[in-house]
Structure 1
């Protein structure tokens, strides 16, 4: 239970800091980018280092980076399927989810990371 309280407090503080940073940048759409994922990832990695050590956190960092790269590829594929292929949103996202899984796990296998 204590881990959840710490994660909540640290995550909230980091989310607030990133939200303030995002508010200073232009365009304002960056505020949402800085508000969620980076702050949660930093809070989670801080707890991982504290509880399990730097080696464990390094493995988790590899998985986060693979997921981020896969998300970027997923986003590009969804955009292409929606705009060029004129697919419906549900179809485009489901097809692109397969691409995300292949890229994410492919990167982990190529880099020797663990899941």
Structure 2
């Protein structure tokens, strides 16, 4: 239970910091970009490093980066499927999910993300 409270407090503080950063930067759309995901990731990595050590946190960070790369590729593929092939949104996202899995596990295998 205390882990959730700590994650909530750290996440909230980092969300506020990123929101202030996003408010200073232009365009204002950066505020949403810097809002939730980086703060939750940083809070999670901080807790992982505290509870399990830096090696475990590094492994988690590598997995987060692989997921982010895969998400970027997934987003491009979904956009291309929607615009070029005129697929419905559900079909495009399900097809692109396969691409996301291939890219995520491919990046992890390239960097040795499964080894401790």
Q: Which residue is equivalent to 2:82?
A: 82
Q: Which residue is equivalent to 2:96?
A: 96
Residues 1-115 of structure 1 aligned to structure 2 (within 5 Å): 1-114=1-114
Unmatched 5+ stretches in structure 1: none
CA distance in 1, matches of 2:22, 2:83: 29
SS in structure 2 of the partner of residue 35 of structure 1? coil
TM-score (norm 2): 0.95
TM-score (norm 1): 0.96
CA distance in 2, matches of 1:68, 1:107: 10
Residues 33-60 of structure 1: CA distance to partner in whole angstroms, max 9, x if unpaired?
1001111000101111111111000000
Q: Quote the offset at 1:10 in angstroms.
A: 0.3
Residues 1-43 of structure 1: CA distance to partner in whole angstroms, max 9, x if unpaired?
1111000000010011101111111111111110011110001
RMSD value, Cα: 1.1
SS in structure 1 of the partner of residue 34 of structure 2? helix
Q: Quote the offset at 1:68 in angstroms.
A: 0.3
Decide which moves more: 80-89 or 62-71: 80-89
Greater than 4 Å deviation, 4+ residue runs = none
